[in-house]
Amino acid sequence: MQIFQWLDNARKKMNSTGITSSELDSLLLLEYVLSINRASILAHPEITLTQTQITKLAKLLKCRLAREPLAYILGHKEFFGRDFIVNPDALIPRPESESFIEILKKQDFEEQTIIDIGCGSGVLGITTKLELPSNTVILSDVSDKALSVAKQNIQKHSVDCRTIKANLLPASIDANIIVANLPYVPINLKVQPELNFEPAIALYAKDGGMELYQKLWSQISTKPSIHFVLTESLVFQHNDMAVIAKSAGFLPDSSEGLVQLFKRKSS
């Protein structure tokens, strides 16, 4: 079987199961198995695949057709131009979450203590440290398994970040800035099949998706050292987030996509 034949077959099968990214996904699977880049694949579609390659591709394609996320199949995901380790112990990084980094860079924070709460694979905290290196960055999560993934990514990117296990805001840390991408998907919201492979604890929340954010804002209200808070939620939840933030003494400062920046009210 030649590359172009496998590509055509894989695309058709993915399309039939409702996978809208069939062309890109099939190319990424080939990249992974053949260890060559997309440009080379597209330039030489006549290359004949070995039986070993065909067998491996068939196994990976079967996983993708079952709607397993491509990032879990390949074991990595790009975020803000860097490659991160991912597995089913932590949520897959989303492009929408890059707005956290864009907002932080616009504020140009220096020599602050920043906590990435609910860090998962650690992409937000690690990227923050790489983009704004003068700041102290701490990664926090309630899941030991997620923290293990975060530690692997800290080592991969050789950054000076420490991790701490905590249920939301660590009581022992006096932070200045909070970065929080907590579970916010309402339990009754219909989602794409791929989400069934991701840890539910990192996705869903009660009270219309606001349960954990309500708890976090309550904790934040007792910490006068915190001056800025960044959160991610669905756009239709932004008004609710602003109401909760106001009760904790914070007002909306700016937003970008799903991410909101809140600033402590002046006394």
**Positive or negative: CA dihedral 14, 20, 23, 27:** negative
Q: What is the mean pLDDT of residues 187-193?
A: 84
User: Residues 195, 92: contact at Cβ < 8 Å?
Assistant: no
Are residues 14 and 126 both part of a single domain?
Answer: no
Residues 124 and 231 in one domain: yes
Closest among 174, 190, 193, 240 to 212, alpha carbons compared: 240
**Are 125 and 246 part of one and the same domain?**
yes
Query: Which run of H or of E encompasses 213?
Result: helix 211-220
CB of 129 within 8 A of CB of 160? Answer: yes
Of 66, 98, 120, the domain-final residue: 66
Judge if 51 and 143 occupy the same domain. no
12 domain-assigned = yes
Distance from C-alpha of 215 to C-alpha of 169, rounded to nearest angstrom = 9
pLDDT of 237: 96
For 218-239, what is the mean pLDDT?
A: 96
- pLDDT at residue 192 in the model: 86
Query: Please, what is the angle between helix 98-107 and helix 123-131, to 10°?
Result: 30
- Is residue 78 in a domain? no
Residue 75 lies in a domain: no
| Mean per-residue pLDDT of the chain | 95
> What letter does residue 102 receive in the DSSP assignment?
H
Cα–Cα distance for residue pair 241/229, rounded to 1 Å: 11
Q: What distance in Å separates the CA atoms of residue 154 and residue 85, rounded to the nearest whole number? A: 10
Q: Is residue 111 part of a domain?
A: yes
Domain that holds residue 27: 3-66
Could you report the per-residue pLDDT of 81-97, keeping only the tens digit for each?
Answer: 999 999 999 999 999 99
Asked if residue 150 has pLDDT above 80, the reply is yes
pLDDT (tens digit, 9 = 90+) per residue, 10-51?
Answer: 999 999 999 999 999 999 999 999 999 989 999 999 999 999
d(CA 149, CA 25): 24
Tokens of 245: 């933030």
Residue 69 DSSP code: -
Determine phi and psi for 81, rounding to 5 degrees.
80, 5
Q: Per the structure, how many domains does the chain have?
A: 2
Report yes or no: 126 and 153 within 8 Å, Cβ to Cβ.
yes
Distance CA 84, CA 69 (A): 15
Amino acid at 222: T
Predicted pLDDT of residue 62 = 97
Question: Which CATH number characterizes residue 157's domain?
Answer: 3.40.50.150
Q: Which of 111, 113, 139, 136 is nearest to 124 (CA)?
A: 139
CB 121 within 8 A of CB 85: yes
Q: At what angle do helices 3-16 and 51-65 cross, to 10 degrees?
A: 10
pLDDT at 25: 96
267: pLDDT strictly greater than 70: no
Question: So what's the pLDDT on residue 200?
Answer: 86
Q: Which of 123, 91, 101, 121 is nearest to 230 (CA)?
A: 101
Co-location of 101 and 27 in the same domain: no
10 and 134 share one domain: no
d(CA 10, CA 62): 10
Q: What pTM was estimated for this model as a whole? A: 0.91
Residue 258 forms part of a structural domain: yes
Look at residue 171 and tell me whether its pLDDT is greater than 90: no
> 189 pLDDT exceeds 90?
no
